Amino acid sequence: MTTHETLKAKVDQLFAEWNKSDSPGAALGVVRDGEIVYKRGYGTANLEYDIPITTTTIFDIASVSKQFAGFAIATLSYEGSLSLDDDIRTYLPDMPDFGNTITIRHLLHHTSGLRDWVQSLVIAGDMMDDVISFKHILEMARHQKTLNFKPGAEFLYSNTGYNLLAEIVERVTGDSFRVWTDTHIFKPLGMTNSHFHDDYEMILKNRAYSYQADENDRFKHAVNNTTALGSSSLYSTVEDLAKWILNFDDTRIGEQTVIEQMHQRGVLNNGEQIDYAFGLNIGEYRGLKTVGHSGSWRGFRSHLIRFPDQKFGIVILCNLDTFNPLRLAEKVADLYLADVLAPVEASESEKAAEPNEGIQSKPLPPEQLAEFEGDYYTEELDTTYTIRMRGEGLVAQHRRHDDIVLTYADGHFRGDAWFFPEIHFIRDDTGRVVGFRLTGNRVRNLHFEKKRN
C-alpha cells in the first residue's frame, strides 16, 4: 500500500462508525496545492430509500453560507455600488431607527446589536420545523424595538445581520440574492450543484435528508422548511465547495482586493480586534493560521476550513445532529499536515477545573411569588407568556411551548429553556410589578409588559 493509499485508509477510519446503510453520514473533500486530493461519501443520504451519500450529494451547509454573502458585499464595495460604512437604512429604509447608526460593516462582523432571529422566533412561539421564510425573518427584524447593545460595542453572533446583507444585495443590484450569487459565483466557478434555497417546496434531486438521534440512538427526520438567505440556506456539495476553496488562491472570480477584504477582521469601538471577518473566522490550529466557519441547522452539520499558508483545505458536510465536523476536520488535518503542525497541548477541558458552586438563593415566599403572576406581552414579537405559581417557584407558559420552570437566583429568575435564559421583573414607582426583561444568549433586554386585569 502506497503512502497516499495509507493516508486515505486512515481518513476513512475516522468516518467508519457512520459509513453504513442504516446511518446518516457525511461527505468529505480535501484540497491541496490547487487540486482536490481526496473526496468521498460515507453513510446514507436518505434512510427511507437507502440512498448512499456521494461527493455530489447536496446538503444544506447552514452558516458556512455566510462567506458567500461576505463575498457579495465585498464585490459590490469594490465596484463602488456601496460603502461598508453606509447606514443600512440607506438601502433598507423600512428598518427601525434605533438612534444609533448601524453600518454594513457592523452586519458583516456581528457587531450591530441586532437580535438573532433564531432565538427571537422561538421566543415568539415558532418551531424550527415550521415554515420559516426569508420574508418572515425580515419582518421580525423590522419589528425590533431596541438593540442588544450600541453598534460596534460588542461582538455577538447574529444571523439576522447576514439576512439583511442578502436583502441589501437585492436592493442594490435589482437581482434576487439567489440570482446574483448564481450569476457571479456559482456559474463562473462551475459550482453546478449549488444555489441559495429560496423555495422550501422546490424539488431537489440528490439532496441529503437531515436527521436527529433520539434517546434510543434511533434516527428521526429533522424537517427543514427554512429559507434564511445570506445567513444560511446555501445548498451545495463537497465537490462544489472544493472549487470555492481553490478560488481563494487562484481568484477565478473576484479581484485580489476582494479576497483580501474578506479576511479583514472586525474592530470594536474601543479598538479591540475580533476574530470574525466577512463570514469567516480567522484563527489558529496547532500553530498554523486557519480560516473557516461551521454550520448547524436542523440535522445538518458542516465545516469548511482552510490553512492558507499551506494551500490546504477541508470541507465536511453531515446530515446528523450529533456529528462534530470541526473535530473531524481537525483529525483529517492532523493526518495531512502532520509534518508542520505544532505538538498537541492539553486542552482546557482536560485540565483540572475549579468547582463552581454559584450563588445560592433562598426560594421567595408565596406572597411575593404571587406578585409576579399574570400575562406578559411583547409588542416586538407579538406574543404573550403567562407567569404562574407552581410549588415553591414559578413557571412561564406559552401556547406553543412546554412550561418553562423559573428558578430564583441572584435577584432574578432563570428559565430552564435555552431560549428563555433569564427574566428580570420590573416594578413601577409604587412597587407594583409592571413587566419583565428577557435576556441571555443572543437576545438581550426584550421587554414584556404586564397586562392589567
What pLDDT shows up at residue 361?
65
- From the CB of residue 390, how many other CB atoms can be counted at a distance below 10 Å? 12
Q: What is the pTM of this model?
A: 0.94
User: Is residue 60 within 8 Å of 234, Cβ to Cβ?
Assistant: yes
Amino acid identity at 318: C
User: Is residue 312 within 8 Å of 321, Cβ to Cβ?
Assistant: no
Mean pLDDT of 237-250: 97
Query: What tens digit of pLDDT does each residue of 249-283 get?
Result: 999 999 999 999 999 999 999 999 999 999 999 99
Beta strands in 215-287 (DSSP E): 219-221, 234-236, 281-285
**Cα(285)–Cα(390) distance, integer angstroms:** 49
Looking up cell 486512515 gives: 10
| Distance set, CA 445 to CA 3, 142, 160, 372, 404 (Å) | 57, 17, 17, 18, 18
What pLDDT shows up at residue 346?
59
Q: What is the 3-state secondary structure (H, E, C) of 22-77?
A: CCECEEEEEEECCEEEEEEEECEEECCCCEECCCCCEEECHHHHHHHHHHHHHHHH
Query: What tens digit of pLDDT does each residue of 112-143 get?
Result: 999 999 999 999 999 999 999 999 999 999 99
264 phi, psi to nearest 5 deg: -80, 120
Query: What is the architecture of the domain spanning 366-450?
Result: Beta Barrel (2.40)
**Cα(115)–Cα(142) distance, integer angstroms:** 11
Asked if residue 358 has pLDDT above 70, the reply is no
Fold designation for 8-336 = Beta-lactamase (3.40.710)
Mean pLDDT of 161-173: 98
Query: What tens digit of pLDDT does each residue of 181-221 get?
Result: 999 999 999 999 999 999 999 999 999 999 999 888 899 99
User: What residue spans define the domains of the chain?
Assistant: 8-336, 366-450
Q: Model confidence at 356, in pLDDT bands (50, 70, 90)?
A: very low
396: which strand partners?
387, 404
